[in-house]
Amino acid sequence: MANVLEASSHITRPRIPKPSELSKLRHQVQATEGLNANVATDAAYNDEPHPEAAPQVLPFGRQLKNMSEVRHFFRTNQTPIYFIGATPVNLLGLDRWVRKFSYITYYDGWDGQHPRVFTPSEKPYVEFDSAEEINNWLLENSEVREFIDSQRTVGGPKPKVAMVFFNEETESICEELGYDLILPPAALRTELDSKIVTTKLGNAAGAPSVPNVLGTASSYHELMALARKGKLGNDLVVQTPYGDSGKTTFFIANEENWNQYSKYILGEDLKVMKRINNQPVAVEAVLTRCGTVVGPILTELAGYKELTPYKGGWCGNEMHPDILTDSQRARAIELVRNVGSGLQNTGYRGFFEVDVLVDTDTDEVYLGELNPRISGASAITNVTAGAYADVPLFLFHLLEYLDVDFKLDVDEINERWQEMSGADVWSHMIIKETDDILQYLTHAPRTGNYYLDSRGKLQFSRSALDWHQLQNHKEAFFLRIYGEHDYRWKGADLGVLVTKAKLQYEGKKKTKLTIDAKHFISSIRSQYKGIDVPPNDNGH
C-alpha cells in the first residue's frame, strides 16, 4: 500500500499479503461485535433533507466585495464540492464553512459515522504504488460515482473535485465523468515542481534563493568549478530538479561526499548552493485574481525517530508566535507574495506552498522550494485565528474555481492576518510505524478527542468530527488512518494527532520533541495491536 500522506517512500515496503492468504490469521482473532458507531453527529451537521421539498436557496448573483459576503456565499453554496484522497486530513473541517462540501476517502477513521465522509464499502485488494493511483481508483469506483451522481441536481452545476496528488489520467477521468477538477493543470504543476524552474521563477519575481549557480557536473572537479563561478565556497548543497527535498538534496563538502552521491547527480540539471545555517519554515498561500493571500508561518517536525523511520522525513508542522521575529515574518510574507506574482505569469492560480529559509547568521530570507498543491500543513493552516476571523485559506482557492465574481482587498486581508499571527498555537504530527514489522491489525485507537488526565495518562474524551473544538494544550484529536483489518508495516501512516501545544523545543545541540509530544506518541502507538504476518516462502 502506498504511503498515504506522501508522494513516495524512502524505505521499500514489504509485500502485503492478499486477504485470502490470511484466513488462518483471521481465525486467531476472537469474534467481536460489529463495528460500533464512535461519533455522535454535531447538531450543526444534522442537515438530512426533510421529507417535504426543501426550500429553494437563491444564488448570490452579484460581485462579492467583503468577507461577510464571502461567508454568506459559502454558507448558501449550491455546488457539490468533494475533496478526494486516502484520508480527509488536509482539509478536514472545511465542511463547517462550506455547504455541500464532502470528503471521499479510501480510509474512514469514523467507521461510517462522519456525515460528510464517504468511503466505498467494497474495496478489493489492490497494491497502490502512489497517492495518484488511490485517487484515480476512487474516481472510477462505482460506489463513488453513484454517490456523486446522487448529490447532483438535474440542470445544476457540475460537481467540483479537489485533491492533493493527481496526474493527466485524473484529468481524463474527470473529463469523461463530467466533473470539474478545480486545480491547475497537471502539466503545469509538473513543470513548476522542478527546483530549477522554481529558482528561475523566484529570481525573476524578486524571491531569490540561497546564493547558487545552475549547471551540470560529471565530476567533483566540474562541481567545484561551478562553485567557484558562483563564489559559493567548498561546503555545498546540491539539488536535482524533481522529488522531495529529503531525497534529492545532497550535502557535499569533499570528494568523498561526491563519490557517495554522484550516482544520483550525474546527468541531472543541478542547483548548486552555498551551505548556510538556516531555519526552515512553511507558508501556504492562494493566488487569486485580486492578488496572493498568505497564510500563517509554520515550522516543521522532521526526522524524529519516534515518528518516522525516514531520515530527515517530514512528520508534521507547528504554528506559534515565536517561530520568526516580526521583521522576518514580514519579509517572508513579502517573498511568498512575490512568488505568487511570478506564478501569475505562468497561468497558475489557486493554492500553493512555499518553503522559506531564514539564514540564522545573516538574517536574510530566501526561497527554498515551491510546492504547487495543497500541502500537509493545510490541516492546521485552516484553523488559525485569521481563518475564524474571516474564512479558511482554502476558501480563497474555491472562490477562484466557482462561478462567482469577487473583488477583495488582499492587502488589507494580509495585513490583518499578519497582526493576528501571534494569537494562536496549533501543531500536528503524523505517526508512522517505525518498527521493522508486518502485522494484521486487530485493535486500533478510536478517532476523536483525547486528554491528559491529572496523572498524565492519555484518556479518550469523546467522539469528534475534527479538531476544531480543541481548547488547550492538554487536549488532542487523533485521526486514525490504518485500523482493524488493515496492515501495519515499517513506514506506514498510522494516524495524525493534532493539538494546541508546541511539540518541540530548542535543546542544547538540536531541536527535540517535548515530553508531552513523546507521551502522546507512545500512548497512541500502544493502542495498536495485531498478529504478526509470517514471511512468504522466499523469506520476504
Are 289 and 392 in a shared domain?
yes
Are 406 and 293 in a shared domain?
yes
Average pLDDT over residues 392-420: 93
pLDDT value at residue 456: 87
Average pLDDT over residues 400-429: 90
Average pLDDT over residues 384-404: 90
Q: pLDDT for 288-300, tens place per residue? A: 999 999 999 999 9
| Alpha helices by DSSP H, 182-281 | 186-193, 195-205, 220-230, 245-248, 255-265
Are 327 and 245 in a shared domain?
no
Residue 41 confidence (pLDDT) above 70: no
pLDDT value at residue 31: 43
Q: pLDDT for 192-203, tens place per residue? A: 999 999 999 999
Are 332 and 260 in a shared domain?
no
Question: pLDDT category, 508, cuts 50, 70, 90?
Answer: confident
Question: pLDDT category, 9, cuts 50, 70, 90?
Answer: very low
CB hemisphere CA count around 412 (13 angstroms): 8
Q: Is residue 109 part of a domain?
A: yes
pLDDT value at residue 321: 87
Long-range CB pairs of 69-74 (<8 Å, 24+ gap) are 70/390, 70/391, 70/395, 70/399, 70/406, 70/408, 71/97, 71/390, 71/391, 73/404, 74/98, 74/99, 74/391, 74/395, 74/398
Q: Is residue 54 part of a domain?
A: no
**Closest C-alpha among 71, 16, 172 to residue 486:** 16
pLDDT value at residue 93: 94
Are 264 and 322 in a shared domain?
no
Are 405 and 444 in a shared domain?
no
Domain final residue pick, 168, 183, 198: 183
Q: pLDDT for 315-368, tens place per residue? A: 999 998 889 999 999 999 999 999 999 999 999 999 999 999 999 999 999 999
Q: What is the CATH number of the domain that holds 303?
A: 3.30.470.20
Question: pLDDT category, 167, cuts 50, 70, 90?
Answer: very high
pLDDT value at residue 92: 95
Are 240 and 323 in a shared domain?
no
Question: pLDDT category, 15, cuts 50, 70, 90?
Answer: low
Residue 184 confidence (pLDDT) above 50: yes
- Give burial (CB, 10 Å; 0-12/13-18/19+) of 132: buried
Are 142 and 220 in a shared domain?
no
Average of per-residue pLDDT values in the chain: 88
Q: Which residues of 391-410 are buried (b: 16+ CB within 10 A; e: fewer)?
A: bbbbbbbbbbbbebebebeb
Q: Which domain holds residue 220?
A: 211-274
Cell 502512489 belongs to: 130
Overall number of domains in the chain? 4
Q: What is the pTM of this model?
A: 0.88
Are 399 and 303 in a shared domain?
yes
Residue 451 confidence (pLDDT) above 70: yes
Q: Which residue has the higher pLDDT, 53 or 154?
A: 154
Q: Is residue 193 part of a domain?
A: no
Q: Is residue 56 part of a domain?
A: no
Q: Which residue has the higher pLDDT, 507 or 469?
A: 469
Q: Is residue 37 part of a domain?
A: no
User: Of how many residues is the chain composed?
Assistant: 540
Share of the chain above pLDDT 70, in %: 87
Residue 39 confidence (pLDDT) above 70: no
Q: What is the CATH number of the domain that holds 259?
A: 3.30.1490
Contact residues for 14 (Cβ-Cβ < 8 A; gap 6+): 438, 489, 490, 540
Question: pLDDT category, 154, cuts 50, 70, 90?
Answer: confident
pLDDT value at residue 418: 84
Grid coordinates given for 363: 538574517
Helix 195-205 and helix 326-344, axial crossing angle in degrees, nearest 10: 100
Are 507 and 455 in a shared domain?
yes
Domain final residue pick, 274, 305, 324: 274
Q: In what order do the strands lie in the sheet with 81-85?
A: 117-118, 101-105, 81-85, 160-162, 180-181
Q: Is residue 512 part of a domain?
A: yes
* Displacement of CA 398 from its chain's centroid (Å): 17
Q: Is residue 26 part of a domain?
A: no
Q: Is residue 329 part of a domain?
A: yes
Residue 16 confidence (pLDDT) above 70: no
Question: pLDDT category, 68, cuts 50, 70, 90?
Answer: very high
Are 449 and 520 in a shared domain?
yes
Q: pLDDT for 302-319, tens place per residue? A: 999 999 998 888 999 999
- Using alpha carbons only, give the angle 467, 518, 301 rounded to the nearest 5 degrees: 70
Give the whole-angstrom CA distance, residue 233 versus residue 276.
Answer: 11
Q: pLDDT for 234-277, tens place per residue? A: 999 999 998 765 678 899 999 999 999 999 999 999 999 999 99
Residue 30 confidence (pLDDT) above 50: no
Domain final residue pick, 420, 446, 470: 420
- Using alpha carbons only, give the angle 130, 497, 33 rounded to the nearest 5 degrees: 85
Are 284 and 387 in a shared domain?
yes
- Give burial (CB, 10 Å; 0-12/13-18/19+) of 57: exposed
Average pLDDT over residues 36-56: 46
Give the whole-angstrom CA distance, residue 58 versus residue 56.
Answer: 6
**Torsion of Cα atoms, 86 then 87 then 92 then 95, to 10°:** 60
118 three-state secondary structure: strand
Average pLDDT over residues 437-454: 95
